[in-house]
Amino acid sequence: MKYISTRGQAPALSFEEVLLTGLAADGGLYVPETLPTFSAQEIRDMAALDYPALAQRIIAPFVADSIPEDDLKAIIVDTYAAFRHDAVAPLVQLGANQWVLELFHGPTLAFKDFALQLLGRLLDYVLERRHQKVVIMGATSGDTGSAAIEGCKRCNNIDIFILHPHQRVSEVQRRQMTTVVGDNIHNLAVQGNFDDCQAMVKASFGDRGFLPADRSLVAVNSINWARIMAQIVYYFYAGVALGAPDRRVAFSVPTGNFGDIFAGYLARNMGLPVERLIIATNTNDVLHRVMTTHTYGRQPLEHTLSPSMDITVSSNFERLLFDLYDRDGAAIAGLMRDFDAGDVHFSEAAMARASALFSSHRVSDEETCAQIAATWERCEYLLDPHSAIGVNAAQSAGLDPAVPVVTLATAHPAKFPEAVAKAGVGDTPGLPLHLRDLFERPERCEVLPNDLAAVQAFMADNLGA
Ligand SMILES: Cc1ncc(COP(=O)(O)O)c(C=O)c1O
Ligand SMILES: N[C@@H](CCOP(=O)(O)O)C(=O)O
């Protein structure tokens, strides 16, 4: 399997090479040249597989040129053994044909663990084999950071630098990052917002000169293809559990960087009968605006009760655009140049294709709290604010009631006590046992100005031997 850049000017790479990078040299994102597909019978047969076996089935074709099957199996089994629920991704029914897929049973209580527990192990495997050391740089609005640190902390061959917006992540999220000790783990609180952090990561891929020549820069954000690949699995897992391929299923996905929902789009292209993908946003609604006005533009970032989705430059949307524009790299490079300069208006043909599968819904903080309260009152089920946005969007989508709709529950409510308190549903649930002493653990974090040179200088000065 080869991976190609959405901007058409970078060399095609193998899985191993794509794992060890972030943005392509031309500024694009890597996608598979062709997608593996599964027949209806192959999908039916997936119902007999547990989560790790299904993950092996879905992931193997993407990595076949780089990782032997037995090694992949061992890595995957070990990855999902770290989850605290035997089903790994349990489905919970909230109402007639309304479901949530709980993706928060990993070590850091968010869906990011699905990919980052795997990514950490894949990096460890590949770097040991190559006797290579790398530098990881990631931007987080709260969840990617801790999941990346947790996923990579055992790996001897990395230095990891995670940038989060200073004072803009929840206290639980911050402590989950800053209390993990290790000389190779660095938390940088940047005096800016998530978009600033993400822009610094992308700029660093464009100019890697601040690092020694023998250290590659590797991404842990969803610009890294391996992140998306791992997230495809749970769409199949939920779909098959609800009757696919003999029944169509819809998904509502709380969305920021468009990585998670893009994985759902790929699952559909690989054969899963997906009725609809609902883009659920908070008031940072750049994607909702794209769907309703066909215009992609910058807007000021708002701080909401769902901070992990406080994102206004949605990285993975470029991967979808690449398909919407018939995989024309030059056209995507042009659109992205226009986006850097101002608003971009997409063609009616491209947007008609998008609308055939995607719809969108924007949810305010008030609606988020009301949804948490309503779901609690009706089902005694406590949603975190991001998942509440997904459920609200699912209920507003006007879907055929015969079609099951699955909301991806992307985080555990204990990570967001402020939103739960504002919803007025009583005490926030306690943290799981392994995090019970989180508030007593010492923290380590560097506050830095919103300045790329300062961040890169800090990184260069703090690299391990
Ligand atoms: C809890 C939570 N929900 C939803 C999202 C949105 O996911 P994506 O960025 O893949 O769209 C994120 C992070 O971005 C998140 O941390
Ligand atoms: N919501 C994320 C933001 C980064 O998104 P990613 O999926 O590209 O890593 C976070 O919580 O950090």
- The ranges of the chain with pLDDT < 50 are none
pLDDT given for residue 426 in this prediction: 78
The string of pLDDT tens digits covering residues 115-154 is 999 999 999 999 999 999 999 999 999 999 999 999 999 8
Q: Is the ipTM of this complex over 0.95?
A: yes
| CB distance 142 to ligand 2 below 6 Å | yes
CA of 284 to the centre of ligand 1 (A): 12
| CB distance 310 to ligand 1 below 6 Å | no
pLDDT given for residue 465 in this prediction: 82
| CB distance 204 to ligand 2 below 6 Å | no
Domain ranges of the chain: 85-108+225-423
Which is catalytic among the residues 2, 73, 112, 415?
A: 112
- Topology of the domain covering 85-108+225-423: Rossmann fold (3.40.50)
- Closest ligand to C-alpha of residue 110 is 1
Report the 3 state secondary structure along the chain.
CCEEECCCCCCCECHHHHHCCCCCCCCCCEEECCCCCCCHHHHHHHHHCCHHHHHHHHHHHHHCCCCCHHHHHHHHHHHHHCCCCCCCCCEEEEECCEEEEECCCCCCCECHHHHHHHHHHHHHHHHHHHCCCEEEEEECCCHHHHHHHHHHCCCCCEEEEEEEECCCCCHHHHHHHHCCCCCCEEEEEECCCHHHHHHHHHHHHHCCCCCCCCCEEEECCCCCHHHHHHHHHHHHHHHHHCCCCCCCEEEEEECCCCHHHHHHHHHHHCCCCEEEEEEEECCCCHHHHHHHHCEECCCCCCCCCCHHHCCCCCCCHHHHHHHHCCCCHHHHHHHHHHHHHCCEECCHHHHHHHHHHEEEEECCHHHHHHHHHHHHHHHCCCCCHHHHHHHHHHHHCCCCCCCCEEEEECECHHHCHHHHHHHCCCCCCCCCHHHCCHHHCCCCCEEECCCHHHHHHHHHHCCCC
- Closest ligand to C-alpha of residue 260 is 1
- Closest ligand to C-alpha of residue 252 is 1
| CB distance 255 to ligand 1 below 6 Å | yes
| CB distance 106 to ligand 2 below 6 Å | no
Residue 112: active-site member = yes
Atom of ligand 1 nearest to the CA of 411: 1
